[in-house]
Amino acid sequence: MAFPKRFLNLPDYAFPRLRKLLDVHAPGGEPIAMTIGEPRHPMPPFVGEVLAESLHGFAQYPPNEGTPELLAAISDWIARRYGPRLGPERIMPLNGTREGLFDACMALCPETKGGKPPVVLMPNPFYQVYAAAALSVGAEPVYVPATAATGFLPDYAGLAPDLLDRVAVAYLCSPANPQGAIAPRAYLADLLGLAERHGFTLLADECYSEIWRDAPPTGALEVAAETGADPERVAIFHSLSKRSNLPGLRSGFVAGGPQSIARFRQLRNYGGAPLPLPIQRVSERVWADEAHVEENRALYHEKFRIADQVFSGLQGYRTPDGGFFLWLPVEDGEAAALKLWRETGVRVLPGAYLAREVEGENPGKGYIRVAMVAPSEEMQRGLIRLRDCLYG
Ligand SMILES: Cc1ncc(COP(=O)(O)O)c(C=O)c1O
């Protein structure tokens, strides 16, 4: 059998890798899962009711581009959150952001750039979908370190100009998974300037945008509007998975320039699966409600207060500005995850599984990622065991 070569170097996904590492050993205590970023706070209380009212919609094929009501609810949310008011031609509902982040390369990455193979930039470590998306279109993924030395954001502007000229799209995750860094306004403005000078599109993965500590993170779209950037230079990706604790609903959106969105829509018309009508109806209501989002954020505030207490005085510990992960420094993430599991039953992800080795360096190697999703008491027990086992 012949299979595509372009995915040969794609490592196993992080979670099967983790199972291989840990599951051959018995846990050293009551297992506590702090690996996967699956929110476990309550979902909005009205979801069931809206779904029940809209069940008849399962009997129809749903519109690919989204119902006018859902597009209006998303547009209202963007206007409330970021300022700009977008027309429906600039928004496309997605089955969660993962789908859109993957399809983005297919929709937007040209076959060549300046006569050469195109480059897709991504931070390193990163959400693994970006790399698979780049490889799926035969582009060259370039992994740009996002480490303590760069404020945990990629320094794209520091890349060589001839490489930048080959860039077709650049992914950015803010708040960042796994480090929790938030791109400041000036960083975004500079990056949009770089995109304009080198002719690439910024794909801003903002799916953790509503989970923040001190102030709502600035969005790429709002900076694009403020700086008068070409609307085609940026697409933002948002989701109800983290904002509203609905990862199983599979609902999000991409918003960008009208030409980019037209390309997304066309592709999806051929090969995509539009959101079922009842899910569109539920999503519409969820985007319109902020009360549950505030409650959710308050629960995370409490969790980070606990983490700050547990790790107070630990060298290298910092409260992430956004998102719900701790990115903790250790000597070797894989060895630490294994020790922790075998001695305490706490399960965390080695940072290296979220990053790529470039020139012999894996920028995730000296870290573990800890998801703060379990109920507060369980999470606190897990963090104390982790501290005593790895830093005691
Ligand atoms: C950085 C990042 N982007 C995108 C996603 C995809 O989320 P969803 O497809 O549920 O919107 C995740 C999920 O964990 C993520 O961590």
C-beta of 100 in contact with ligand 1 (< 6 A): no
So what's the pLDDT on residue 182? Answer: 98
From CA 283, how far away is CA 68, in angstroms rounded?
12
* Amino acid (one-letter) located at 143: Y
159 and 165 Cβ atoms separated by less than 8 Å: no
Q: What is the pLDDT of residues 149-190, one digit of tens each?
A: 999 999 999 999 999 999 999 999 999 999 999 999 999 999
Res 277 pLDDT > 80: yes
pLDDT of 62 over the 80 cut: yes
Please work out, in degrees rounded to the nearest 5, the angle formed at the alpha carbon of residue 304 by the alpha carbons of 298 and 310: 145
Q: Residue 8 C-alpha to ligand 1 middle, in angstroms?
A: 24
Nearest Cα to Cα of residue 257 among 283, 289, 225, 235: 235
In whole angstroms, what is the distance from residue 193 CA to residue 177 CA? 24
Average the pLDDT over 2-25 and give the result: 92
**Ligand 1 touching residue 323 (CB < 6 A):** no
Q: Strand pairing partners for 24?
A: none
Angle at 56 between CA 54 and CA 59, to 5 degrees: 135
Tokens of 294: 């505030």
DSSP 294-312: HHHHHHHHHHHHHHHHHTT
Closest to 304 measured CA to CA, from 243, 379, 218? 379
Q: What is the pLDDT of residue 316?
A: 85
Share of the chain above pLDDT 90, in %: 93
297-344 pLDDT, tens digit per residue, is 999 999 999 999 999 999 889 999 999 999 999 999 999 999 999 999
Q: What is the mean pLDDT of residues 266-277?
A: 94
Pocket test residue of 94, 127, 251 for ligand 1, highest count of atoms within 8 A of CB: 127
241 close to ligand 1 (CB < 6 Angstrom): yes
For range 112-122, the mean pLDDT: 96
What is the number of the ligand 1 atom nearest to the C-alpha of 239?
11
Strands in 252-255's sheet, in edge-to-edge order, are 91-94, 252-255, 234-239, 201-205, 167-173, 119-124, 140-145
| pLDDT(241) > 80 | yes
38: confidence class by pLDDT, cuts 50, 70, 90: confident
Q: Is the CB of 247 under 6 A from ligand 1?
A: yes
Is the distance from the beta carbon of residue 127 to the nearest atom of ligand 1 less than 6 Å? yes
Q: Which among 177, 210, 238, 253 is the best mutation to test ligand 1's pocket, defined by most ligand atoms within 8 Å of the CB?
A: 177
Q: Which of the residue ranges 25-39, 147-161, 342-356 would you say has the lowest mean pLDDT?
A: 25-39
* CA–centroid distance for 169 within its chain: 16
